[in-house]
Amino acid sequence: MRLLYDTMNKTADKAANSSVGAKKYATNEASISGFQTLYTLAQCTDDLSQQDCRTCLSDAIGYLPQGKQGGRLLFPSCNVRYEVYPFYRNLAPSPSPSPSPSAIPGLVPPTTTRNLGGNII
C-alpha cells in the first residue's frame, strides 16, 4: 500500500503544481514487481487554485480502496485513479495545424468564355 500512496501523492503534486494555464492533470507509473506496473492519474478542474487542487486530490487519495488492483475516486472538482494496466495514453502535445494553402499573389486564374455556336434570336 505504501507504493500506491507514495506514487499517487507524487502524481497529485505534479497535477496541482502544473504551470499557469496548463491543465491540472498528471500521470505517473511505478514498478510493483519485475513484471507488473502501477499506473496512476490525478486531475483537477481548471477553476481550482494550486492549493485547493492539492487539497482535493489529497482527500480523494484518502478514500481510495485498499488491497485492490485498481480504484478511482471522482469528486466534483478532482479525480484520481490507479490500475495495474495502462488506462491512459501519454500523448505529446499535438503540433500546430499547418497553414492553409493560399493563392500565390499576382496569379489569377484566367476566366474563359465559350461560344457554343448557337444563335440567340
pTM for this model (two decimals):
0.71
Report DSSP state, residue 113.
-
What is residue 70's predicted lDDT score, i.e. its pLDDT?
Answer: 95
Range of the domain at 54: 2-83
C-alpha cell at 103: 493563392
Q: Please give the mean pLDDT across all residues of the chain.
A: 83
92 located within any domain: no
Average pLDDT over residues 33-49: 94
7 located within any domain: yes
Q: Higher-confidence residue: 46 or 118?
A: 46
Q: Dump pLDDT digits (tens) for 80-104.
A: 999 999 999 875 554 444 454 444 4
71 located within any domain: yes
Q: Higher-confidence residue: 3 or 117?
A: 3
**Domain count of the chain?**
1
Short-list 15, 84, 22, CA closest to 51 = 15
Give the CATH number, domain containing residue 62.
3.30.430.20
77 located within any domain: yes
Residue 77 has pLDDT above 50, yes or no: yes
Strand-pair category, 78-83 with 36-44: antiparallel
Q: Higher-confidence residue: 109 or 19?
A: 19
Q: What are phi and psi of 105, to 5 degrees?
A: -60, 140
What is residue 33's predicted lDDT score, i.e. its pLDDT?
Answer: 86
Average pLDDT over residues 18-45: 92
